[in-house]
Amino acid sequence: MNIQDKDPIIEAHDLTVTYNRKPALWSVDFLLPKHKLIGIIGPNGAGKSTLIKSIMGLVPLASGYVKIFNQDLDDVRSKISYVPQRGSVDWDFPASVLDVVLMGRYGKNKLFKRSNKKDREIAMQCLEKVQMLPFVNRQIAQLSGGQQQRVFIARALAQNADLYLLDEPFAGIDAASEDAIFRLLQDIRSEGKSIMVVHHDLQSAARFFDWILLLNTRLVAVGPKEKVFSENLLNETYGGKLTVLSDLGDIMKEQDMPARENK
């Protein structure tokens, strides 16, 4: 038994979610190790966001269960930070950038207790990490999509969680910003945190993730990037849609990965 099998950060067993009787996830099983930057990869409609939501208890399960830190979600919720898709947020809500990041500190305070000096210092540090400090007093609705996403990542960082779940955090963000945020996530990982990210770009996935979970309603494969990021498994995941994988050979060569799955 591997170390991650003995003490996984997330365990899913027979995870099935249906929408209008149509499966969005079907009998998904996996164990994920701690202290990794993990990418959830698959085509549109593969159930990637549903997987994140099922881990967070935001969608009902048709069957199966999820354990986090070997416990039920309600017992460890304070250790988890969740960043939803940007499109699911009401950006017209009247709040400043600092207000939004301070929301990440609410779980550290008693209910209705005002944020204190330490909370504000932590919020400012998190904004600096995502390069949004100059916008601290700006209304959140006045920011670009990429800037809004950076603020939500800062809010997640302010929670000082042990596990971060990010649903398409790079949507609407330019390549330079994506690289900067990925490197920030790597720094968080090096501090002993665990990060799980719904992502769609194969090239940056090959560069930055430690582990890959390939999903297309069913689990195709999960494991270290070097083993899972293979031509065979990616073709299986994307249903042979080679237009999506047109640059796969170059990615494999650049990352020195096997072109075919090892038997």
Question: What are 25-70's pLDDT values in tens digits?
Answer: 999 999 999 999 999 999 999 999 999 999 999 999 999 999 999 9
Q: Are residues 100 and 218 in the same domain?
A: no
Nearest in space to 107 (alpha carbons), one of 140, 77, 129, 69: 77
Domain-located, residue 19:
yes
In the prediction, which pLDDT does 5 show? 54
Domain-located, residue 83:
no
d(CA 220, CA 235): 10
pLDDT(252) > 70? no
DSSP assignment of 130-192 equals TT-GGGTTSBGGGS-HHHHHHHHHHHHHHTT-SEEEEESTTTT--HHHHHHHHHHHHHHHHTT
Task: State the Rg of the chain over Cα.
Answer: 19
Q: Are residues 110 and 239 in the same domain?
A: no
Q: Are residues 206 and 223 in the same domain?
A: yes
pLDDT(261) > 50? no
In the prediction, which pLDDT does 241 show? 62
pTM: 0.86
Range of the domain at 111: 91-161
Instruction: Calculate what percentage of the chain has a pLDDT beyond 90.
Output: 55
Write phi, then psi, for 40 (nearest 5 degrees). Answer: -100, 115
Least confident piece of the model among 196-200, 236-240, 256-260: 256-260
pLDDT per residue over 126-154, tens digit each?
999 888 999 999 998 898 888 888 888 99
